[in-house]
Amino acid sequence: MLILSRKTGESIVIAGNIRVTVVRLDGETVKIGVEAPASVPVHRQEVYEEIQRSNQQAATQPTAALPKLSPPKT
């Protein structure tokens, strides 16, 4: 992993079109600003992992029995 030291307000540039800036330090929390083209999705890693894990749990056999749902509330 490439590790760079940055001060508040300093940035790194990735691939010429993505800029990551250290906006603020607040105790253990670092506020990071990401400027990227609209075609580059940016998400917190936890959300990715959460959805990936959920998908892996959801993958089932085509013969799985489906539950009966309670009637939707009106």
Partner 1 sequence: METPAAAADNRIRLPAGILGFEQIKDYMLLANPAEMPFAWLRPAEGASLAFVVINPFFVMPGYAPDIPETDVEFLGLKEPNDALLFSIVTLRGPNRATLNLKGPLVVNRHTHIGKQVIIANAGNYSVEHPLPVAAAV
- Interaction between residue 39 and partner 1 (CB under 8 A): yes
Backbone angles phi, psi at 22, to 5 degrees: -80, 110
- Interaction between residue 34 and partner 1 (CB under 8 A): no
Residues ≥6 apart with Cβ < 8 Å to 16: none
- Interaction between residue 2 and partner 1 (CB under 8 A): no
Binding segment for partner 1 (CB under 8 A), chosen from 8-16, 23-31, 55-63, is: 55-63
How many residues bind partner 1 (CB under 8 A)? The answer is 28
Q: How far is the CB of 4 from partner 1 (least distance, A)?
A: 27
Residue 12 pairs in a beta bridge with 20
The Cα–Cα gap between 22 and 41 comes to: 19
The Cα–Cα gap between 42 and 64 comes to: 35
Residues that bind partner 1 (CB under 8 A): 38-41, 43, 47-48, 50-62, 64-70, 72
